[in-house]
Amino acid sequence: MNLETTYLGLPLRNPVVASAGPLSQTVADIEALADGGVGAIVVYSLFEEQLRREAERLTEIEAQFENVFLEATSFFPDVPLDHDPSHEYLRLIEQAAKSIDVPLIASLNGVSVGSWIETAAKLQDAGADAIELNIYFVPGDITTTGAQVEQRHLEIVAAVKEAVTVPVAVKLSPYFSSIGHMCVQLDQAGADGLVLFNRFLQPDIDVDRMTVESGVTLSRPGEAKLPRTWIAILRDQVEASLAATTGVDTAEDVIKYILAGADVVMTTSALIRHGADHAATLIDGLEGWLVTHGISLEKARGLLAVPKETAADAYERAGYVDALQKAKATYGSLA
């Protein structure tokens, strides 16, 4: 069974992709993911805040020595720039791109238009096959309007697209007043791919210590329903590639996303739980299902997407009403 596909215009040997996360911090990690069988790898994110602090540090050093005579250049301190986040990240991209035979996608995480965007061009030069923009913006300022949030996303995408020639994907959260319209706008703004969705990492409260605790939990299959719904809606509405992420643990989860219309299915949680070679289990499961049902990958993709001519809002409303009716019949009255 041929599982070859494309994502962002890049040829992939299969549609299972390692998403950005802690499993891609070294060249050896990235090689292990490639050897595990994935079709592409998204490297862990480089954050806008890291790049901003790095720039501020260099500015402070320059200010300290701005009055030193030009002839006295030996007085300048030996600054270990190689240990700054961007240098380490660029070196990782450069080395890993040469050591694997699948597309390597760099990830930039930011929330504003600024000089950090220039790093996208450096990542391209280092060998990244594409850039994934993880725009994780929580508008804590309650005076910020929905239109302002949307415009910020569009400006970041436009700035990065202007800086690079490699494909650019946008990883975004579902928390917009109209996520479908936001996706269409990003598509029209030139985004080559949409990664649905980023997880909102909410803090929790420790009632004994009475403190707010941050933390990360691995995603579960139940979380896949929301991105799967929107992928099914957007399948025939945008030109951009659609990447599914969140809630992938088994081959069945991959198959569901493909049926909804995903071009690729990304996972980190499953690979953390089961190891890098779990990718082969996901791929074999997908292939076995396709063989059993006598259908190609391309025929299966989007088979259960919302038809383009269908009124999607009425379609989803009908599903909602049907679900509640089934709940009433199944669980009965509490009286």
What pLDDT, in 10s, does the model give residues 85-116? 789 999 999 999 999 999 999 999 888 888 78
pLDDT of residue 83: 57
Average pLDDT of the residues in 36-60: 77
User: Would you place residue 38 in the very low, low, confident or very high pLDDT band (cuts 50, 70, 90)?
Assistant: very high
pLDDT of residue 58: 47
State the DSSP code for 124. H
What's the pTM value of the predicted model, to 2 decimals? 0.84
How far apart (Å, rounded) are the C-alpha atoms in residues 154 and 137?
13
Q: Which two tokens stand for residue 45?
A: 């994110």
pLDDT of residue 6: 98
pLDDT of residue 81: 47
Q: How many helices (H) and strands (E) does the chain have?
A: 12, 12
Element (H, E) at 196: strand 193-196
pLDDT of residue 218: 81
CA distance between the termini of the chain: 54
Element (H, E) at 331: helix 312-331
How far apart (Å, rounded) are the C-alpha atoms in residues 21 and 206?
26
Domains of the chain: 5-310 (3.20.20.70)
What pLDDT, in 10s, does the model give residues 195-242? 999 877 677 888 998 898 877 778 888 899 999 999 999 999 999 999
**If you search the block for the tokens 């913006």, which residue do you land on?**
137
pLDDT of residue 143: 86
Task: Look at 246 and 51; give whichever has higher pLDDT.
Answer: 246
